[in-house]
Amino acid sequence: MTLRSSIKTNFFPYYLRVFSNNNEHFRLPLSEMWELIESECFALSTKFGAEIHAAVLLPISFQAVATFPEEPIGTFSKEFFREITKRSNRRTGTSGRIFSSRYHRSSIQTSQHYNYLINYLYSRPVSQNLARFAEEYPYSTLSGLVGNSKLGIPLRKTTADYEHVFHNHLSQEWRNLLNTEIPKSVRTNIEKGLKKEIFALLKDRLTRKRPTFGFS
């Protein structure tokens, strides 16, 4: 799996996205894919010291926020996607890739951006009409955090820099935010920002202000 050129850091978290091959639904049911993802996240977090902050599996993509303090992100990602592919193909009796040949990563270098992207990530199932409430979507670490399912991925809940952000999480106010539709203009801005090496929101051409979403 080839990587686009990116600034590599072991301090700041990354927003990581990988899409399915040809944007087709994964061959395995999402329940089985999530089982594989949980298993590999647990194993490789131990092996490489990767710290998962949040993760969501969608019908044609896997998205996560994670920090890689001990090994480069590429070392973790290469083995992670390879093992998931091998195990999926073994179960389905097929061969070939199940993920796109490229994955996307964007470094998150402010607590405000971190907060925006955690909110954006966990709200994806609601935005895609996969669940009425974000916390009820079973293929998300949020479901485990609120006790709706077993949390199979060891999560890094906070860092010193982002500690105040996590205190907002799991509150009823935060859950209400996740279940409120993100304005299209804000969602588009976030998705453009995720294409950058370092995540950044663009200023509105008319107001010259950046959009706000979630807790600042």
| Model pLDDT for residues 38-89, shown as the tens digit of each residue | 999 999 888 888 899 999 999 999 999 999 877 788 888 899 999 999 999 9
Region 89-99 average pLDDT: 95
Determine, yes or no, domain membership for 137. yes
- The pLDDT score that the predictor gives to residue 206 is 66
As a three-state string, the secondary structure of 115-156 is HHHHHHHHHHHHHCCCCCCHHHCCCEHHHHHCCCCCCCCCEC
- Give 7's pLDDT tier (boundaries 50, 70, 90): very low
DSSP 8-state class, residue 197:
S
- The pLDDT score that the predictor gives to residue 1 is 45
Q: Report the predicted TM-score, pTM, of the whole model to 2 decimal places.
A: 0.85
Domain of residue 66, CATH code = 3.30.70.1290
- The pLDDT score that the predictor gives to residue 147 is 87
Q: How many domains does the chain have?
A: 1
Determine, yes or no, domain membership for 185. yes
Determine, yes or no, domain membership for 182. yes
Mean pLDDT (the chain) is: 84
Q: Per-residue pLDDT for 6 more than 50?
A: no
Determine, yes or no, domain membership for 95. yes
Determine, yes or no, domain membership for 214. no
Q: Per-residue pLDDT for 142 more than 60?
A: yes
- The pLDDT score that the predictor gives to residue 70 is 75
- The pLDDT score that the predictor gives to residue 24 is 95
**Residue 191 falls in which region: left (phi positive, over 0), alpha (psi -120 to 50) or beta:** alpha
* Dist CA 138 CA 117 (whole Å): 19
- The pLDDT score that the predictor gives to residue 145 is 86
Could you list the residue range(s) of the whole structural domain that residue 6 is in? 2-193
Which residues, including other chains, have CB under 8 Å from residue 104's CB and lie 6 or more apart?
4, 16, 17, 18, 194, 195
Determine, yes or no, domain membership for 212. no
Determine, yes or no, domain membership for 216. no
Q: Per-residue pLDDT for 94 more than 50?
A: yes
- Give 161's pLDDT tier (boundaries 50, 70, 90): very low
- The pLDDT score that the predictor gives to residue 23 is 93
Determine, yes or no, domain membership for 80. yes
- Give 164's pLDDT tier (boundaries 50, 70, 90): very low
